[in-house]
C-alpha cells in the first residue's frame, strides 16, 4: 500500500509569517512530487512540482525534497490571507498500464490570520 501522509491541521499562521507544510511518503521508488492548493469548494490547483533532492523556489513558495528521509515539504513565505486553503501533497507512484498513478495525502488546512 503506497501512502502519503500529511498533518491534517488546521495550521494557523499570522499574516507575513512562514507557513511550513509537511508530507511523508512510503514508496521509496517515487520520483515526482507535487503540491496542490485547494480552496474551499474548488478543485485542486497545481502550485509546485519537485523531482530532485533539495530546494525549489517559485516566488513565495519553496518545495523541499529529501528522498532519503522520504519527506517533502512546502514553505510559504510572507503568508497572505489569500493563501488560506487546503494543501494536498501528491506523489507520482510511477507508470502502470493505466498511466501515472498519483497518490494524494489527506491535505493540510492552512489559515492565515490577518
Residues within the interface to other proteins (CB under 8 A): 32, 34, 36, 41-46, 49, 88, 90, 92, 97-100, 102, 104-107
| Nearest distance in Å: CB 21, other proteins | 14
Residue 113 pairs in a beta bridge with 14
Q: How far apart are CA 82 and CA 98, in angstroms?
A: 36
C-beta of 1: minimal distance to other proteins in Å? Answer: 11
Cβ nearer to other proteins, comparing 96 with 114: 96
Residue 16: Cβ-neighbour burial (10 angstroms; 0-12, 13-18, 19+): exposed
Amino acid at each position: 500500500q503506497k501512502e502519503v501522509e500529511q498533518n491534517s491541521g488546521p495550521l494557523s499562521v499570522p499574516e507575513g509569517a512562514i507557513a511550513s507544510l509537511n508530507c511523508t511518503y512510503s514508496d521509496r521508488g517515487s520520483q515526482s512530487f507535487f503540491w496542490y492548493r485547494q480552496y474551499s469548494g474548488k478543485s485542486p490547483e497545481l502550485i509546485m512540482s519537485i523531482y530532485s533532492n533539495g530546494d525549489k523556489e517559485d516566488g513565495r513558495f519553496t518545495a523541499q525534497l529529501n528522498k532519503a528521509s522520504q519527506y517533502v515539504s512546502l514553505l510559504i513565505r510572507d503568508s497572505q490571507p489569500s493563501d488560506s486553503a487546503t494543501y494536498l501533497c501528491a506523489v507520482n507512484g510511477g507508470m502502470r498500464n493505466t498511466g501515472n498513478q498519483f497518490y494524494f495525502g489527506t491535505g493540510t488546512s492552512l489559515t492565515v490570520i490577518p
